[in-house]
């Protein structure tokens, strides 16, 4: 059974892939609007982890709609959730894709689909959506990441990743400058996966 895991290069999506690996044939999928080349880094990380990887192009209009949302809202939550939903829908429209997974944890708030959004996607598009970390709290996830992955961490602007936020930030930077980004996105710590840890 093949599963497509939405992969940003971060620790949550990488750990999700590791947890599924014994039971599914895992491929990693990184989304792109074509605005930044960050998917290349995700491809490199996927190779380090030993998983097949591909880039999924998302329609530019999804990014424009997310841009409208964040500019209206003044905060990123609904814009990021919107991109996440559209990313899953885009992936689900591939007839070869039957299982889609991501790195959503128990305590996550963004990006998180509601149970009705999930059921709607599953019913409309005939896929099964899996969140392997949904039953794990932050502390247990950290324990597993510490055990199985080498990562680097830092403020979101300094860590190269391929999550939904990065291209939305870039669009806002191009149109409004760096100050606007600081205004809209709360500062937070991001992680980027380097490789698996050798188990002793």
Residues that bind its own copies in the complex, under the rule CB under 8 A: 1, 19, 22-23, 99, 104, 106, 115, 122, 128-137, 139-140, 143-144, 147-148
Q: Distance of CA 140 to CAs 27, 83, 104, 143, 196, Å?
A: 24, 27, 13, 5, 18
Residue closer to its own copies (CB basis): 128 or 156: 128
Minimum distance of its own copies from residue 187's CB (angstroms): 26
CA distances from 24 to 33, 34, 173 (A): 28, 29, 39
Q: How far is the CB of 11 from its own copies (least distance, A)?
A: 15
Nearer of residues 21 and 170 to its own copies, judged by Cβ = 21
Given the complex with its own copies, which of 139 and 188 has the nearer CB atom? Answer: 139
- Nearer Cβ to its own copies, position 76 or 111? 111
- Best CA proximity match to 168, nearest among 45, 65, 89: 65
Extract the tokens encoding 137. Answer: 């709290």
């Amino acid at each position: 059974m093949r599963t497509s895991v939405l992969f940003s290069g971060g620790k949550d999506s990488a750990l999700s892939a590791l947890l599924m690996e014994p039971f599914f044939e895992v491929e990693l999928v990184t989304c792109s609007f074509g605005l930044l080349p960050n998917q290349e880094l995700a491809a490199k990380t996927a190779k380090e982890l030993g998983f097949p990887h591909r880039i999924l192009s998302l329609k530019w209009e999804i990014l424009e709609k997310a841009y409208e949302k964040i500019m209206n809202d003044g905060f990123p939550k609904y814009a990021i959730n919107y991109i996440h939903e559209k990313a899953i829908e885009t992936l689900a429209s591939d007839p070869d894709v039957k299982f889609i997974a991501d790195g959503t944890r128990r305590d996550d708030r963004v990006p998180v689909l509601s149970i009705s959004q999930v059921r709607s996607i599953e019913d409309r598009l005939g896929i099964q959506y899996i969140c392997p970390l949904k039953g794990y709290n932050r502390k247990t996830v950290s324990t597993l990441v510490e055990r199985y992955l080498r990562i680097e961490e830092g403020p979101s602007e300094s860590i190269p990743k391929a999550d939904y936020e990065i291209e939305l930030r870039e669009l806002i930077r191009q149109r409004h400058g760096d100050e606007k980004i600081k205004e809209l996105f709360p500062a937070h710590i991001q992680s980027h996966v380097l490789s698996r840890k050798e188990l002793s």
